[in-house]
Structure 1
Amino acid sequence: MARAKQYADRVNIIKMVKLNGKWPFARIVERNGRIIRDHVWVDGRDEHHPEGHYYLEWYEDGKRRRKPVASYDLLLPAARAKSIELNAIKAGLITLPETPVAPVPTRLTMHAAIDQYLEYIRKHRSLRTYRTYRPVLNVLFRNSYTKTYVDEVTREDILKFTSDCFDQGLVPRTVYDRLVTVLQLFKRHGYKGLVEASDWPSYVETIRPIYEPEEIAAMLRNADPDEAILIKFCLSSGFRDREIRYVTWRDVDLRNSVVRVTAKPLWKFKPKNYEERAVPLPAAMIEQLRQLKARRNATPAELIFPNTKGKPNSLHIEVVKQVAHRAKLNCGQCVTKHGNRCGHGPYCQRFYLHKFRHTFATEHLRHGIDVRTLQGWMGHRDIQSTMVYLKGIQSKDALVKVNGGSLAAYIA
């Protein structure tokens, strides 16, 4: 906690805070000679105001001067330096040109805030994240937020955005994700606590769909060797689509039966949550990878599943759909947004890469892998993301009890 008393006679520390839509200066609160961070006096009351900026205030030639301080940690050094400077001027040791009064910070418009935040996302997050955030903020939120400045935001503005999303036909889970994006924008600019717990859209947490053993067997029977090893790798590693796209032979530890997710600066690939991880692979998978590497005479830096030019392949999803269609597994009811029917081609929405990840998680939990271990293998930052897979499993003990109960006796 910073001390301030020694400068109170020459250099005062004040703070610009928001009160009733305006930005006045307020005196800081001190106790026992120490500054209480983010506390100011308002009408004789000690109030907490984390928003706004700290300033130094002093009098020079009978005129009041103010100067902003970049951060709380710099308050005392700045006050000390200004006090020394004023005493030196008074003693005639130095002569400084007149310093203009520091202008009041320009209020940030909502349009500028969105542009700044999207630029931050573009530079610090993945391209996929940027492309997800951009339409939400550039289109949905710009059209919903009718005020000029960021500091005018209220809970009602956020609720209006939620309602506007529902009016556009978005489902609750999608609205929930859009709301997270908007609140991250405001958090970046220092505004938190804009919604209450009851304001979040409610949605049904569905059981994650998995591939049944019969479906996997049928796909493998109808896949060529390269397609089969891709499917097996997806199933045994639990990797995300982009992680499969950028995995190289250097990431595979053939001796210890482990495959790793690592950053690839060459292709600007960063692991999700910026965390590299290792996943154990079955011995049979390791052996097939060993044979594939030898057959290709591959170098460590080469991709395991590249396109025909040796570059990252973004069409692995098409391989899965084509194999499913060949195996006659399509449901025959799917219609894409372009009007393609899965009864006529490889367009079935029941077959996609991420479903292998669901299968990986569900089967490991079913066979006794604990949730914390699986969390590490999956690369989940939050344990809740892993626990959703518990809904799709049942223990063998529970099944024995169900079959041995009175209800089962009635059915028999």
Structure 2
Amino acid sequence: MFWRRWCGLFLDQKRRKKSDATYKNYKHILGEFVDQLPASVRFIDQVNADVLDSHMRYLESEKAAPKTISNKMMVVSFMLKAAGVATPSKMMELPTVEEEIPEPYTREDLQALFKAMTPEERVRYTFFLDTACREKEVAHAQWADLIDGKYWVRKKTFKARGGKERQFSPKSHETRLIPLTRELMDMLNARRKSSKSQRIFPNEWGDPEGHFLRKFKAVAKEAGLNCGECETTISEGRFTKHPAEVSCLTRPVCEKHYLHRLRKTCATFWHEKHIPIRTIQSWLGHKSLETTQKYYVASAIPRIVPPPCSYSRRICSNSSTLVLLSTRSSLGAVRPEAESRVYGFQ
């Protein structure tokens, strides 16, 4: 079968099963792959290790990061496997990807971040910090997803601006319930009274908010937490775009601040409060326990940690206070829904 015809069929299948963003990503990756194929390679059965290696060399020449190359080649491998090519992943030698070391925020950094936020920003990023949700899981959160003090992360269909119907699915389609802290529930209850949207965090047009990361980086700069060493190229100009070299000394582009750090921080809090590792895995939506252990909790996490009967921890720093409270249920399990994480601001 011709490459382009099969790619079209493969993408049609993904359009029905994947989100719009994932479909567009697959389409871009496979379009790039097909465009770079030698003219002599017209059929799927002509693929070999040399063809795949040639494409990886092309990606390297475009200065793609090792992780980007690995992700793109895996999409190509998925397509080849669906076309009947046996073990396509064995025909390619993927670049070595350095494992990301968890770097949760310190309590001092969190106090600085939340002190620099507006009231609106505090609600948004408290949601990130207290639920460990991914960006799109927060962007698509609806009031109907709040059930008995828990956030129901689930697949949903919604109408975007213009009436177009769209779908959202959690990563790996992992539907789950995440208990909310008392502080976050108080914030959300107050917010709901004045909300006119079915979404908890809509943008100005009523669609899911898409600028959480950009706004979070601006908060980090305002809080004085930028490292001052990051340099990157951005597009500037309202009508005519042009590339500009900028530094995190003067712009909110510090690579050390990203939303996943809030997710890692929350998982670390849970671990410190002796939440069972399998429970943390469930709340994070991980299929693999190894992923939970490797990326989101302490590196030397013990297999079994007996939870204490009860405890409270208070950390004070001049004008800011962080309070962590935990209680035991009648069954002996820690109840995060009874916890409170309070940030004081002056």
Which TM-score band applies after superposition, normalised by the shorter structure? Answer: 0.7 to 0.9
Q: Does 1:306 pair with 2:202?
A: yes
Aligned residue type for 1:208: P
Q: Is the 8 A contact 1:155 1:195 kept in 2?
A: no
Structure 1's 380 and 194: CA in aligned 2 closer, same or farther, altered over 3 A?
same
Aligned residue type for 1:230: R
Structure 1's 322 and 195: CA in aligned 2 closer, same or farther, altered over 3 A?
closer
Q: Does 1:280 pair with 2:176?
A: no
Offset from partner CA, 1:117-139 (integer Å, 9 cap, x none)? 22322332112212322232111
Q: Does 1:373 pair with 2:279?
A: yes
- Look up the SS of the partner of 2:246 in the other structure: coil
Higher RCO (CA 8 Å, separation ≥ 6 residues): 2
Give the superposition deviation at 1:370: 3.0
Task: Output the CA distance in 2 between the equivalents of 1:232 and 1:302.
Answer: 19
Matches within 5 A, 1:378-397: 378-389=284-295, 392-394=298-300
Give the superposition deviation at 1:172: 2.4
Q: Is the 8 A contact 2:4 2:34 kept in 1?
A: no
Corresponding residue of 1:123 = 16
Structure 1's 173 and 110: CA in aligned 2 closer, same or farther, altered over 3 A?
same
Q: Is the 8 A contact 2:114 2:122 kept in 1?
A: yes
Give the superposition deviation at 1:320: 1.0
Offset from partner CA, 1:40-85 (integer Å, 9 cap, x none)? xxxxxxxxxxxxxxxxxxxxxxxxxxxxxxxxxxxxxxxxxxxxxx
Runs (4 or more) in structure 1 with deviation over 4 Å come to none
Name stretches of at least 5 consecutive residues in structure 2 with no aligned partner: 160-165, 235-244, 303-346
Aligned residue type for 1:347: V
Q: Is the 8 A contact 2:52 2:92 kept in 1?
A: no
Matches within 5 A, 1:193-272: 193-196=87-90, 199-253=93-147, 256-267=148-159, 268=166, 269-272=168-171
Task: Output the CA distance in 2 between the equivalents of 1:286 and 1:128.
Answer: 30
Aligned residue type for 1:187: K
* Root-mean-square deviation over aligned CA pairs: 2.4
Aligned residue type for 2:29: V
Task: Output the CA distance in 1 between the equivalents of 2:112 and 2:288.
Answer: 35
Structure 1's 344 and 121: CA in aligned 2 closer, same or farther, altered over 3 A?
same
- Look up the SS of the partner of 1:337 in the other structure: strand
Task: Output the CA distance in 2 between the equivalents of 1:167 and 1:309.
Answer: 40
Offset from partner CA, 1:374-393 (integer Å, 9 cap, x none)? 22111223333323226744
- Look up the SS of the partner of 2:177 in the other structure: strand
Q: Is the 8 A contact 1:236 1:282 kept in 2?
A: yes
Q: Is the 8 A contact 2:49 2:91 kept in 1?
A: no
- Look up the SS of the partner of 2:77 in the other structure: helix
Task: Output the CA distance in 1 between the equivalents of 2:137 and 2:301.
Answer: 31
Aligned residue type for 1:127: D
Offset from partner CA, 1:256-309 (integer Å, 9 cap, x none)? 321111223114222222232111122222222222223x1x47x621111233
Number of residue pairs the alignment of both structures matches = 284
- Look up the SS of the partner of 1:259 in the other structure: strand
Aligned residue type for 2:291: S
Give the superposition deviation at 1:224: 1.4
Offset from partner CA, 1:185-230 (integer Å, 9 cap, x none)? 0111122213439833322212133222111111111111111111
Q: Is the 8 A contact 2:81 2:88 kept in 1?
A: no
Q: Does 1:345 pair with 2:248?
A: no
Corresponding residue of 2:82 = 188
Structure 1's 132 and 209: CA in aligned 2 closer, same or farther, altered over 3 A?
farther
Q: Does 1:356 pair with 2:266?
A: no
Structure 1's 142 and 363: CA in aligned 2 closer, same or farther, altered over 3 A?
farther
Task: Output the CA distance in 1 between the equivalents of 2:263 and 2:61.
Answer: 33
Give the superposition deviation at 1:316: 1.6
- Look up the SS of the partner of 1:336 in the other structure: strand
Q: Is the 8 A contact 2:49 2:92 kept in 1?
A: no
TM-score (norm 2): 0.74
